[in-house]
Amino acid sequence: MHTAPQPLFSRALLALTAAATIAVAPLAAAAIGPAGSGRSAHSVPVYLISRISHDVGHNDWAFQGQDAGRVSWVAAYVGLALFWPAVALWIRTRSRQIEAMDGRRLRPWSRVLLAAWAAELVTGLLTLGAGAYAEWTSTPIGADVLKLADLCSPWWSCVAAVIVVARAEHSTLALRAIGGYAVLLAVVLLVPLPGPDWLKVLLLAVPAAIPAVLTPRESHSSAAPGISASDGTSSAAAV
């Protein structure tokens, strides 16, 4: 008897994560802000808070953001925030098609959207909080707090979205892939690596791109017995 496998939305989200990362490579400093690029996460909120406090010209941290940094920081958050509803709509449409074919009820789209938006909200608030702490206090750890704030990025929304779907599909392959992406993202954000920013961003996309490309795309209309939805591999069917 032929049964349809669990839809591999995790594979599609890995592909979208890799594609989005590669797409912003020419604008790597503005879109992702690798360490050493001058567009690190904390620089923009510190500049904004300094402007509000009328401290520009008196606070050394205030000179790091400037107008271009403000625009790119906000654009990155807004761009990804608008990207995820489109992804969720596609997942919802595809889920309804699968439901019409075999009657299964699939509702991953809402969890993907909520996870992605929650990740953006948390990272944005942490970045602003770190900037406010360093601006309005004089503790010695202010610089360290700002350094840790560089870890905050809207691109963690990609990690959150893939984890939600991969766990629902029990896909260890997708979890490992997005785990590798997360590790590289943290390194790119915190460690000033040598080389051009665009190359760092291209390397960042590799962990998500390889499984998305190498994992075979399965048909949802029919599948051979023994197909595993968790990692796209097949096993011998028991007779």
Distance CA 229, CA 28 (A): 34
Instruction: Give pLDDT, residue 43.
Output: 56
Q: Name the least confident of 7-16, 98-107, 223-232.
A: 223-232
Determine, yes or no, domain membership for 28: yes
Q: How far apart are CA 127 and CA 226, in angstroms?
A: 47
- What number is the average pLDDT over the span 9-28? 92
Confidence of residue 17 (pLDDT cuts 50, 70, 90): very high
* Position 103 confidence tier, pLDDT thresholds 50, 70, 90: low
Q: List residues bridging with 114 in a β-sheet.
A: none
Residue 122 falls inside a structural domain: yes
Does the pLDDT of residue 36 top 60, yes or no? yes
Which of the four pLDDT bands, split at 50, 70 and 90, describes residue 61? very low
> Would residue 175 count as lying in a domain?
yes
State the average pLDDT over residues 13-28.
93
How far apart are alpha carbons 91 and 232 in whole angstroms? 19
Q: Give the per-residue pLDDT at 233.
A: 41
Q: Which residue has the higher pLDDT, 136 or 194?
A: 194
Domain count of the chain?
A: 1
pLDDT at 35 exceeding the cut of 90: no
| 3 vs 77: which has the higher pLDDT | 77
* pLDDT value of residue 5: 45
- Assess if residue 230 is contained within a domain: no
CA distances from 236 to 145, 222, 224, 239 (A): 54, 17, 10, 9
Asked if pLDDT for residue 7 goes beyond 50, the answer is no
- Does residue 72 surpass a pLDDT of 50? yes
The DSSP call for residue 227 is B
Task: Provide the residue type at 152 as one letter.
Answer: C
Inside any domain, residue 174: yes
Tokens, residue 55 = 């401290």
Q: What is the mean pLDDT of residues 96-124?
A: 82
pLDDT-derived band of residue 142, with 50, 70 and 90 as boundaries?
low
If you average pLDDT over each of 8-12, 24-28, 221-225, which comes out highest?
Answer: 24-28
Model pLDDT, residue 45: 59
Structural contact between residues 30 and 72, judged by C-beta atoms closer than 8 angstroms? yes
Q: Which domain holds residue 145?
A: 9-214
Q: What one-letter code names the amino acid at 221? A: S
Question: 71-75, 202-206, 216-220: lowest mean pLDDT where?
Answer: 216-220
Asked whether residue 3 is assigned to any structural domain, the reply reads: no
Asked whether residue 237 is assigned to any structural domain, the reply reads no
Average pLDDT for the chain: 76
Query: At residue 86, does pLDDT exceed 90?
Result: yes
In a domain, 154, yes or no: yes
